[in-house]
Protein backbone atom coordinates (compact mmCIF):
# COMPACT_ATOMS: atom_id res chain seq x y z
CA UNK A 1 0.00 0.00 0.00
CA UNK A 2 1.05 3.65 -0.32
CA UNK A 3 2.55 3.83 3.21
CA UNK A 4 4.95 0.95 2.56
CA UNK A 5 8.47 2.38 2.52
CA UNK A 6 11.54 0.99 0.78
CA UNK A 7 13.01 0.29 4.22
CA UNK A 8 9.97 -1.81 5.13
CA UNK A 9 10.33 -3.80 1.91
CA UNK A 10 14.01 -4.38 2.71
CA UNK A 11 13.17 -5.58 6.21
CA UNK A 12 14.83 -2.69 8.01
CA UNK A 13 11.83 -0.43 8.59
CA UNK A 14 9.51 -0.04 11.56
CA UNK A 15 6.58 -1.92 9.98
CA UNK A 16 7.94 -5.02 8.29
CA UNK A 17 7.66 -8.80 8.12
CA UNK A 18 11.19 -9.26 6.82
CA UNK A 19 13.07 -8.73 3.56
CA UNK A 20 10.68 -8.88 0.59
CA UNK A 21 13.23 -7.75 -2.02
CA UNK A 22 16.38 -9.90 -1.95
CA UNK A 23 16.18 -12.79 -4.36
CA UNK A 24 13.00 -11.49 -6.05
CA UNK A 25 13.34 -11.20 -9.82
CA UNK A 26 9.94 -9.61 -10.50
CA UNK A 27 8.88 -6.01 -9.73
CA UNK A 28 7.11 -5.13 -6.48
CA UNK A 29 4.30 -2.65 -7.14
CA UNK A 30 3.44 -0.24 -4.36
CA UNK A 31 -0.08 0.81 -5.40
CA UNK A 32 -2.93 1.09 -2.89
CA UNK A 33 -5.49 1.14 -5.72
CA UNK A 34 -4.62 -2.45 -6.62
CA UNK A 35 -5.03 -3.53 -3.01
CA UNK A 36 -8.45 -1.85 -2.91
CA UNK A 37 -9.55 -3.66 -6.08
CA UNK A 38 -8.51 -6.98 -4.54
CA UNK A 39 -10.22 -6.00 -1.25
CA UNK A 40 -7.17 -6.89 0.81
CA UNK A 41 -8.16 -6.32 4.42
CA UNK A 42 -4.75 -6.53 6.10
CA UNK A 43 -1.05 -6.28 5.31
CA UNK A 44 0.86 -8.31 4.49
CA UNK A 45 -1.61 -10.86 3.11
CA UNK A 46 0.32 -14.12 2.98
CA UNK A 47 -0.57 -17.07 0.79
CA UNK A 48 0.90 -20.56 0.68
CA UNK A 49 1.36 -21.84 -2.88
CA UNK A 50 2.02 -25.57 -3.01
CA UNK A 51 3.81 -27.26 -5.94
CA UNK A 52 0.43 -28.61 -7.13
CA UNK A 53 -0.73 -24.98 -7.69
CA UNK A 54 -3.12 -24.95 -4.73
CA UNK A 55 -3.21 -21.49 -3.08
CA UNK A 56 -4.23 -21.06 0.57
CA UNK A 57 -4.36 -17.85 2.59
CA UNK A 58 -2.49 -18.62 5.81
CA UNK A 59 -2.59 -15.20 7.49
CA UNK A 60 0.13 -13.39 9.39
CA UNK A 61 2.31 -15.87 11.24
CA UNK A 62 5.82 -16.18 12.55
CA UNK A 63 8.49 -17.41 10.16
CA UNK A 64 8.55 -20.75 12.00
CA UNK A 65 4.76 -21.14 11.72
CA UNK A 66 4.83 -20.28 8.01
CA UNK A 67 7.59 -22.82 7.45
CA UNK A 68 5.59 -25.48 9.30
CA UNK A 69 2.54 -24.69 7.17
CA UNK A 70 4.57 -25.00 4.00
CA UNK A 71 5.74 -28.46 5.02
CA UNK A 72 2.15 -29.57 4.48
CA UNK A 73 2.78 -29.08 0.76
CA UNK A 74 5.23 -31.98 0.62
CA UNK A 75 2.54 -34.62 0.16
CA UNK A 76 1.30 -32.76 -2.93
CA UNK A 77 4.71 -32.63 -4.63
CA UNK A 78 5.10 -34.61 -7.85
CA UNK A 79 8.14 -36.71 -7.01
CA UNK A 80 6.87 -40.27 -7.65
CA UNK A 81 5.85 -41.85 -10.97
CA UNK A 82 2.31 -42.93 -10.02
CA UNK A 83 0.51 -40.78 -7.46
CA UNK A 84 -3.14 -39.75 -7.41
CA UNK A 85 -4.41 -37.25 -4.84
CA UNK A 86 -7.93 -36.37 -3.69
CA UNK A 87 -8.48 -32.74 -2.68
CA UNK A 88 -11.38 -31.32 -0.64
CA UNK A 89 -14.09 -29.67 -2.70
CA UNK A 90 -14.11 -25.88 -2.71
CA UNK A 91 -17.64 -25.74 -1.24
CA UNK A 92 -19.84 -28.01 0.81
CA UNK A 93 -22.82 -29.59 -0.97
CA UNK A 94 -26.23 -28.58 0.34
CA UNK A 95 -29.52 -30.36 -0.31
CA UNK A 96 -32.89 -30.86 1.36
CA UNK A 97 -33.01 -33.69 3.88
CA UNK A 98 -34.50 -36.58 1.92
CA UNK A 99 -33.31 -35.13 -1.39
CA UNK A 100 -30.42 -36.51 -3.43
CA UNK A 101 -27.03 -35.01 -4.26
CA UNK A 102 -24.15 -36.41 -6.30
CA UNK A 103 -21.07 -37.00 -4.15
CA UNK A 104 -17.99 -35.76 -5.98
CA UNK A 105 -14.35 -35.04 -5.24
CA UNK A 106 -11.39 -33.42 -6.99
CA UNK A 107 -8.83 -35.90 -8.33
CA UNK A 108 -5.35 -34.54 -9.07
CA UNK A 109 -2.29 -36.19 -10.58
CA UNK A 110 0.69 -35.55 -8.30
CA UNK A 111 2.80 -38.13 -10.11
CA UNK A 112 5.47 -37.52 -12.72
CA UNK A 113 3.75 -39.71 -15.33
CA UNK A 114 0.17 -39.40 -16.66
CA UNK A 115 -2.52 -40.76 -14.32
CA UNK A 116 -4.88 -43.02 -16.24
CA UNK A 117 -6.92 -44.79 -13.54
CA UNK A 118 -7.91 -44.61 -9.88
CA UNK A 119 -10.51 -46.24 -7.65
CA UNK A 120 -12.18 -43.73 -5.31
CA UNK A 121 -14.43 -44.71 -2.40
CA UNK A 122 -16.91 -42.48 -0.55
CA UNK A 123 -17.78 -43.32 3.08
CA UNK A 124 -19.98 -41.83 5.80
CA UNK A 125 -18.65 -43.18 9.06
CA UNK A 126 -18.06 -46.89 8.49
CA UNK A 127 -20.63 -47.14 5.69
CA UNK A 128 -19.35 -47.29 2.13
CA UNK A 129 -21.71 -45.14 0.05
CA UNK A 130 -20.21 -45.87 -3.34
CA UNK A 131 -17.07 -46.53 -5.39
CA UNK A 132 -15.99 -45.10 -8.73
CA UNK A 133 -13.42 -46.73 -11.00
CA UNK A 134 -12.16 -43.61 -12.77
CA UNK A 135 -10.27 -43.82 -16.06
CA UNK A 136 -8.89 -41.01 -18.17
CA UNK A 137 -5.61 -39.16 -18.64
CA UNK A 138 -4.31 -36.47 -16.30
CA UNK A 139 -0.90 -34.93 -16.78
CA UNK A 140 1.12 -33.82 -13.75
CA UNK A 141 -0.94 -31.45 -11.55
CA UNK A 142 -4.00 -31.68 -13.81
CA UNK A 143 -7.39 -31.84 -12.01
CA UNK A 144 -10.73 -33.50 -12.70
CA UNK A 145 -13.95 -33.45 -10.70
CA UNK A 146 -15.07 -37.08 -10.28
CA UNK A 147 -18.65 -38.05 -9.40
CA UNK A 148 -18.76 -41.06 -7.09
CA UNK A 149 -22.41 -41.84 -6.32
CA UNK A 150 -25.78 -40.23 -5.46
CA UNK A 151 -26.39 -39.67 -1.75
CA UNK A 152 -29.58 -38.93 0.18
CA UNK A 153 -28.78 -37.31 3.56
CA UNK A 154 -30.93 -38.17 6.55
CA UNK A 155 -29.13 -35.83 8.97
CA UNK A 156 -28.34 -32.09 8.88
CA UNK A 157 -24.55 -32.60 8.84
CA UNK A 158 -22.88 -35.47 6.99
CA UNK A 159 -19.08 -35.86 6.88
CA UNK A 160 -18.08 -37.72 3.72
CA UNK A 161 -14.58 -39.21 3.49
CA UNK A 162 -13.14 -39.83 0.03
CA UNK A 163 -10.27 -42.32 -0.32
CA UNK A 164 -8.24 -43.58 -3.25
CA UNK A 165 -8.24 -47.32 -2.60
CA UNK A 166 -6.20 -48.33 -5.65
CA UNK A 167 -2.45 -48.74 -5.20
CA UNK A 168 -0.13 -45.83 -5.91
CA UNK A 169 3.30 -44.64 -4.79
CA UNK A 170 2.22 -42.24 -2.01
CA UNK A 171 -0.88 -43.26 0.00
CA UNK A 172 -0.43 -40.33 2.44
CA UNK A 173 -2.38 -38.01 0.12
CA UNK A 174 -5.15 -40.45 -0.76
CA UNK A 175 -7.84 -39.15 1.64
CA UNK A 176 -9.94 -35.97 1.85
CA UNK A 177 -13.24 -35.09 3.52
CA UNK A 178 -16.16 -32.76 2.89
CA UNK A 179 -19.49 -32.00 4.50
CA UNK A 180 -22.88 -32.52 2.90
CA UNK A 181 -25.41 -30.24 4.57
CA UNK A 182 -28.92 -31.68 4.63
CA UNK A 183 -31.29 -28.77 5.17
CA UNK A 184 -34.64 -29.36 6.87
CA UNK A 185 -35.90 -25.87 5.97
CA UNK A 186 -39.48 -25.98 4.67
CA UNK A 187 -41.66 -23.43 2.88
CA UNK A 188 -45.23 -23.95 4.08
CA UNK A 189 -46.68 -22.55 0.85
CA UNK A 190 -46.00 -22.66 -2.87
CA UNK A 191 -46.35 -18.86 -2.97
CA UNK A 192 -43.06 -17.51 -1.70
CA UNK A 193 -41.86 -13.92 -1.25
CA UNK A 194 -38.25 -12.91 -1.88
CA UNK A 195 -36.89 -9.62 -0.51
CA UNK A 196 -33.43 -8.21 -1.25
CA UNK A 197 -31.83 -5.12 0.27
CA UNK A 198 -28.66 -4.32 -1.66
CA UNK A 199 -25.49 -2.93 -0.12
CA UNK A 200 -23.58 0.08 -1.44
CA UNK A 201 -22.45 -1.91 -4.49
CA UNK A 202 -25.73 -3.32 -5.79
CA UNK A 203 -24.30 -4.11 -9.23
CA UNK A 204 -22.16 -6.83 -7.65
CA UNK A 205 -25.20 -8.89 -6.53
CA UNK A 206 -26.96 -11.57 -8.59
CA UNK A 207 -28.98 -14.64 -7.62
CA UNK A 208 -30.68 -17.77 -8.98
CA UNK A 209 -33.36 -20.16 -7.73
CA UNK A 210 -32.98 -23.77 -8.95
CA UNK A 211 -35.72 -26.40 -8.84
CA UNK A 212 -35.21 -30.04 -7.90
CA UNK A 213 -34.15 -30.94 -11.44
CA UNK A 214 -31.44 -28.27 -11.42
CA UNK A 215 -33.28 -25.93 -13.81
CA UNK A 216 -33.44 -22.19 -13.11
CA UNK A 217 -36.92 -21.35 -11.83
CA UNK A 218 -36.24 -17.64 -11.17
CA UNK A 219 -33.21 -15.35 -11.29
CA UNK A 220 -32.28 -11.68 -10.92
CA UNK A 221 -33.72 -9.44 -13.63
CA UNK A 222 -31.65 -8.09 -16.51
CA UNK A 223 -29.48 -5.10 -15.66
CA UNK A 224 -27.86 -4.11 -12.38
CA UNK A 225 -29.40 -3.60 -8.98
CA UNK A 226 -29.21 -0.07 -7.56
CA UNK A 227 -27.29 0.61 -4.36
CA UNK A 228 -28.96 0.42 -0.93
CA UNK A 229 -32.37 -0.37 -2.45
CA UNK A 230 -35.05 -2.90 -1.46
CA UNK A 231 -36.48 -5.25 -4.10
CA UNK A 232 -39.42 -7.64 -3.72
CA UNK A 233 -40.47 -10.55 -5.89
CA UNK A 234 -43.12 -13.28 -5.58
CA UNK A 235 -42.31 -16.83 -6.67
CA UNK A 236 -44.92 -19.44 -7.60
CA UNK A 237 -43.35 -22.83 -6.96
CA UNK A 238 -44.20 -26.52 -7.32
CA UNK A 239 -45.30 -28.37 -4.22
CA UNK A 240 -43.11 -31.07 -2.65
CA UNK A 241 -39.98 -30.00 -4.53
CA UNK A 242 -36.49 -29.25 -3.25
CA UNK A 243 -35.41 -25.79 -4.38
CA UNK A 244 -31.95 -24.27 -4.01
CA UNK A 245 -31.47 -20.53 -3.68
CA UNK A 246 -28.02 -19.18 -4.54
CA UNK A 247 -26.90 -15.58 -4.15
CA UNK A 248 -23.63 -14.27 -5.57
CA UNK A 249 -21.40 -11.28 -4.97
CA UNK A 250 -18.79 -10.60 -7.66
CA UNK A 251 -16.47 -8.83 -5.20
CA UNK A 252 -16.58 -11.72 -2.72
CA UNK A 253 -17.85 -9.72 0.26
CA UNK A 254 -21.56 -10.59 0.41
CA UNK A 255 -24.15 -7.84 0.89
CA UNK A 256 -23.40 -7.14 4.55
CA UNK A 257 -21.68 -5.59 6.41
CA UNK A 258 -18.43 -4.05 5.17
CA UNK A 259 -19.94 -1.93 2.40
CA UNK A 260 -23.49 -1.25 3.53
CA UNK A 261 -26.06 -3.17 5.56
CA UNK A 262 -27.62 -5.38 2.90
CA UNK A 263 -29.68 -8.51 3.51
CA UNK A 264 -32.09 -10.96 1.92
CA UNK A 265 -35.05 -12.98 3.14
CA UNK A 266 -37.38 -15.66 1.76
CA UNK A 267 -40.79 -16.02 3.39
CA UNK A 268 -44.04 -17.98 3.15
CA UNK A 269 -47.33 -17.13 4.87
CA UNK A 270 -45.70 -14.04 6.32
CA UNK A 271 -42.86 -15.91 8.07
CA UNK A 272 -39.20 -15.76 7.06
CA UNK A 273 -37.75 -19.24 6.68
CA UNK A 274 -34.42 -18.17 5.13
CA UNK A 275 -32.43 -15.01 5.89
CA UNK A 276 -28.87 -13.95 5.15
CA UNK A 277 -26.45 -11.32 3.95
CA UNK A 278 -23.00 -12.17 5.32
CA UNK A 279 -21.12 -14.43 2.90
CA UNK A 280 -18.15 -14.31 0.53
CA UNK A 281 -18.76 -14.84 -3.19
CA UNK A 282 -21.67 -17.31 -2.95
CA UNK A 283 -24.23 -18.60 -0.46
CA UNK A 284 -26.47 -21.60 -1.15
CA UNK A 285 -29.68 -22.32 0.77
CA UNK A 286 -31.96 -25.27 -0.11
CA UNK A 287 -35.58 -25.62 1.03
CA UNK A 288 -38.49 -27.96 0.52
CA UNK A 289 -41.99 -26.80 -0.47
CA UNK A 290 -44.73 -28.51 1.54
CA UNK A 291 -48.02 -26.62 1.40
CA UNK A 292 -49.90 -29.39 3.22
CA UNK A 293 -47.87 -29.11 6.41
CA UNK A 294 -47.81 -26.24 8.83
CA UNK A 295 -44.13 -25.94 9.65
CA UNK A 296 -42.72 -24.20 12.67
CA UNK A 297 -40.35 -21.36 12.00
CA UNK A 298 -36.64 -22.21 12.08
CA UNK A 299 -36.04 -20.25 15.25
CA UNK A 300 -32.39 -21.32 15.32
CA UNK A 301 -31.82 -19.61 11.94
CA UNK A 302 -33.81 -16.48 12.69
CA UNK A 303 -32.52 -16.10 16.25
CA UNK A 304 -28.84 -16.86 15.65
CA UNK A 305 -26.22 -14.11 15.88
CA UNK A 306 -22.44 -14.51 16.03
CA UNK A 307 -20.33 -11.49 16.96
CA UNK A 308 -17.95 -9.73 16.74
CA UNK A 309 -17.40 -10.44 13.05
CA UNK A 310 -14.57 -10.07 12.07
CA UNK A 311 -12.99 -11.34 15.28
CA UNK A 312 -9.50 -11.80 16.68
CA UNK A 313 -10.60 -15.16 18.08
CA UNK A 314 -13.32 -15.04 20.75
CA UNK A 315 -16.92 -14.86 19.50
CA UNK A 316 -20.30 -14.72 21.22
CA UNK A 317 -23.11 -16.95 19.96
CA UNK A 318 -26.73 -16.00 20.69
CA UNK A 319 -29.45 -18.49 19.75
CA UNK A 320 -33.06 -19.37 20.47
CA UNK A 321 -33.92 -23.00 21.26
CA UNK A 322 -37.46 -24.39 21.25
CA UNK A 323 -36.50 -27.07 23.79
CA UNK A 324 -33.55 -28.25 25.87
CA UNK A 325 -31.08 -29.89 23.51
CA UNK A 326 -27.44 -30.54 22.66
CA UNK A 327 -25.97 -27.90 20.37
CA UNK A 328 -23.31 -29.12 17.92
CA UNK A 329 -20.97 -26.39 16.70
CA UNK A 330 -18.68 -27.14 13.74
CA UNK A 331 -16.14 -24.75 12.21
CA UNK A 332 -15.07 -25.37 8.60
CA UNK A 333 -12.31 -23.67 6.62
CA UNK A 334 -12.77 -22.32 3.10
CA UNK A 335 -12.02 -25.71 1.51
CA UNK A 336 -14.62 -27.50 3.63
CA UNK A 337 -12.29 -29.14 6.15
CA UNK A 338 -13.48 -29.38 9.75
CA UNK A 339 -11.05 -27.42 11.95
CA UNK A 340 -13.03 -27.37 15.22
CA UNK A 341 -15.99 -29.16 16.78
CA UNK A 342 -17.79 -28.62 20.08
CA UNK A 343 -21.01 -29.94 21.62
CA UNK A 344 -22.78 -28.35 24.62
CA UNK A 345 -26.10 -28.87 26.32
CA UNK A 346 -28.52 -25.95 26.75
CA UNK A 347 -32.01 -25.34 28.06
CA UNK A 348 -34.98 -23.96 26.15
CA UNK A 349 -35.28 -20.31 25.12
CA UNK A 350 -32.66 -17.62 24.49
CA UNK A 351 -29.14 -18.93 25.09
CA UNK A 352 -25.64 -17.50 24.87
CA UNK A 353 -22.24 -19.18 24.67
CA UNK A 354 -18.75 -18.31 23.49
CA UNK A 355 -16.45 -20.00 21.00
CA UNK A 356 -12.69 -19.52 21.12
CA UNK A 357 -11.26 -19.45 17.57
CA UNK A 358 -7.94 -17.85 18.54
CA UNK A 359 -5.95 -20.97 17.61
CA UNK A 360 -7.13 -20.73 13.99
CA UNK A 361 -5.18 -18.90 11.31
CA UNK A 362 -6.41 -15.63 9.88
CA UNK A 363 -8.98 -16.12 7.13
CA UNK A 364 -12.62 -16.95 6.41
CA UNK A 365 -14.53 -19.80 8.08
CA UNK A 366 -18.01 -21.32 8.19
CA UNK A 367 -19.69 -21.86 11.59
CA UNK A 368 -22.37 -24.55 11.36
CA UNK A 369 -24.84 -24.85 14.28
CA UNK A 370 -27.09 -27.91 14.64
CA UNK A 371 -29.61 -28.01 17.48
CA UNK A 372 -33.22 -28.79 18.27
CA UNK A 373 -33.71 -30.50 14.89
CA UNK A 374 -32.65 -27.32 13.04
CA UNK A 375 -29.54 -26.07 11.23
CA UNK A 376 -28.08 -22.58 10.86
CA UNK A 377 -24.86 -21.48 9.19
CA UNK A 378 -22.84 -18.26 9.41
CA UNK A 379 -19.69 -16.99 7.69
CA UNK A 380 -17.05 -15.48 9.97
CA UNK A 381 -13.68 -13.84 9.41
CA UNK A 382 -10.66 -14.07 11.73
CA UNK A 383 -8.23 -11.16 11.66
CA UNK A 384 -5.07 -10.93 13.73
pLDDT band at 31 (very low <50, low <70, confident <90, very high): low
The pTM score is: 0.58
**320 and 289 inside one domain:** no
**257 and 215 inside one domain:** yes
Nearest-angstrom CA–CA distance, 148 and 140: 22
**147 and 191 inside one domain:** no
Domain assignment present for residue 51? The answer is: yes
35-51 burial, b at 16+ Cβ within 10 Å, e below that, comes to beeeeeeeeeebeeebe
Nearest-angstrom CA–CA distance, 7 and 13: 5
Domain end marker among 47, 76, 105: 76
Helix/strand/coil percent split, the chain, to 5: 10, 50, 45
Q: How many domains is the chain partitioned into structurally? A: 4
Domain assignment present for residue 223? The answer is: yes
- pLDDT: is 75 or 209 the higher one? 209
What CATH number is given to the structural domain containing 374?
A: 2.60.40.1930
Cis peptide before 310 (omega within 30 of 0): yes
pLDDT for residue 343 is more than 80 = yes
SS3 8: helix
Domain assignment present for residue 91? The answer is: yes
**143 and 209 inside one domain:** no
Domain end marker among 145, 180, 215: 180
**335 and 370 inside one domain:** yes
Cis peptide before 257 (omega within 30 of 0): yes
Nearest-angstrom CA–CA distance, 351 and 69: 37
Domain end marker among 28, 52, 76: 76
C-beta of residue 188 within 8 angstroms of C-beta of residue 268: yes
pLDDT for residue 26 is more than 50 = yes
**285 and 246 inside one domain:** yes
Domain assignment present for residue 374? The answer is: yes
Q: What is the pLDDT of residue 33?
A: 65
Q: What is the pLDDT of residue 38?
A: 60
**147 and 95 inside one domain:** yes
Q: How large is the average pLDDT for residues 49-61? A: 81
Residues 122-179: pLDDT tens digits?
Answer: 999 899 999 999 999 999 999 999 999 999 887 788 899 999 999 999 998 999 999 8
Q: What is the pLDDT of residue 19?
A: 84
Range of the domain at 68: 6-76
SS3 323: coil
**59 and 94 inside one domain:** no
Which strands sit side by side in the sheet containing 263-268, from one edge to the other?
Answer: 230-236, 191-197, 263-268, 271-276
Nearest-angstrom CA–CA distance, 63 and 38: 25
**56 and 101 inside one domain:** no
What CATH number is given to the structural domain containing 170?
A: 2.60.40.10
**248 and 293 inside one domain:** yes
**195 and 284 inside one domain:** yes
Domain assignment present for residue 142? The answer is: yes
Is residue 350 classed exposed, middle or buried when 0-12, 13-18 and 19+ CB atoms within 10 A define those classes? exposed
Helices (H) and strands (E) in the chain, counts: 4, 28
Domain assignment present for residue 1? The answer is: no
Amino acid sequence: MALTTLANLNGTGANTQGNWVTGISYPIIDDAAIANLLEIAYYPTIYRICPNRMITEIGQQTLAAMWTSCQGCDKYRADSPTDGTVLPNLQNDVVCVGGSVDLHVRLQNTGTTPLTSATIEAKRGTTVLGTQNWTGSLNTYDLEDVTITPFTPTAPTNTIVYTITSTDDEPANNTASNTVVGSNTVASSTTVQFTLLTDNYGAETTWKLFDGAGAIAYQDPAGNYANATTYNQTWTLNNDDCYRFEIYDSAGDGVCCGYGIGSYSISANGTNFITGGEFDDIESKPFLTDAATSVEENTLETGLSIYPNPTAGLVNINMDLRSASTVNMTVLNIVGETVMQQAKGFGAGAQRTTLDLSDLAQGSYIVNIVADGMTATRQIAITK
